[in-house]
Structure 1
Amino acid sequence: MPTEQERVYLSVGANLHPRVATIRQAIAQLAAVPEVTVRATSNWYETEPWGKRDQPNFYNVSVALTTTLTPADLLTVLHQIERTFHRQRKVHWGPRTLDMDIIFWGARTIQTPTLTVPHPQAAHRNFVLRPTLEIAAADPQVGPQVRRMMAANQDQSWINKVGNVSELDD
């Protein structure tokens, strides 16, 4: 079981309509889980697709939380929320209604058949690192990890901070 000081960081994104409503509702569903406390969310970013570029742009946000769930149980919750929004895993790095990934779990390293933490691609993705640094900079367990990854990151994809989320078009 994690300690209360141990923060979990998620990356949440979508690039299929309605992106904004989906992300908002997904975070609300996550916050409604009794064993989860959402502590912070980053600014929203519009981002270029990563990996498979011939698809619509994404909106991405990072979420910090604490939980009494195990990593496997939190992953199950995230997958249940993704299914609520009809997430399909047909094309690797393809378009998605919702993507919720565990990026960091405090200072832990987790390696199971279904979960790797830190996320194995986090260090190569602007859309994960920039929003996560916003909410993890002061976290003594995760902030240094994110800063190291950002210093070595060579991702050239564009990422734009979105102003007023309530005015976003889908």
Structure 2
Amino acid sequence: MRSVYVALGSNLNQPWLRLVEAVQWIRAHPQIQWVSASKVYHNVAMGPVQPDYLNAVCHLKVEMQPMQLLDLFKSYEQRAGRMLEGPRWNARPLDLDLIWWEGCILNSTQLTLPHSGCWDRLFVLKPWQQVCYHDQSLSQRVSASIAIQTNQPVLDDGYFLSGELVGP
């Protein structure tokens, strides 16, 4: 099984519930082993004016290939009401991004691993730091990336994502 890190985000249609729903779907899949999740963070959306985002990162172990997991996550996004076509950085009920896949570097038209934006987005780095501590090399890289970020307010909402319906 390979370690995988996934960034979860939502800013439409009751974002907290969309994140909890996504965690429940992920945890129920037979080829995915749930390891942990970060706290939920709150941040201003990138791009056009839109509602603020809730973001988190989860650590998984998987028995599938990257494109298989990407397809599964796209189906979860659609189930949550996301339109997969449309402007970049559009508001969305659910966004599931593969940000890191143990032992895999990939650059295709559909998927880039590590995720191309993972090293410069504090709303990804802060929650990721909470769940990658067991991998010293990765943890150091995430921490170093956090240290150079400026002007990106990200608030810790104080709630952990477990798949249980608790929180705001």
Q: TM-score, normalised by structure 1?
A: 0.88
- Going from structure 1 to structure 2, the CA distance change for 1:72 and 1:167 (only over 3 Å counts) comes to closer
% of aligned pairs identical?
A: 24
Residue 74 of structure 2 aligns with an amino acid whose one-letter code is H
Determine the structure 1 residue equivalent to 2:56.
Answer: 61
Inter-partner Cα distance in structure 2 for 1:146 and 1:167 = 27
- CA drift of 1:163 comes to 2.5
Partners of 1:123 and 1:153 within 8 A in 2: no
Which runs of 5 or more residues in structure 2 are unaligned? 161-165
Which protein has the bigger strand share? 2
Residue 129 of structure 2 aligns with an amino acid whose one-letter code is L
1:162 paired residue among 150, 157, 161: 157
Partners of 1:37 and 1:65 within 8 A in 2: yes
Aligned length: 162
Inter-partner Cα distance in structure 2 for 1:42 and 1:142 = 16
Q: Secondary structure of 1:124's partner?
A: coil
Q: Which has the higher contact order (CA 8 A, sep 6+)?
A: 2
Cα RMSD, aligned residues only: 1.6
Q: How does 1:127-146 map to 2 (within 5 A)?
A: 127-146=123-142
Alignment partner of 1:11 is 2:15: no
Q: Secondary structure of 2:90's partner?
A: coil
Determine the structure 1 residue equivalent to 2:94.
Answer: 98
Partners of 2:39 and 2:159 within 8 A in 1: no
Partners of 1:45 and 1:61 within 8 A in 2: yes
Q: TM-score, normalised by structure 2?
A: 0.89
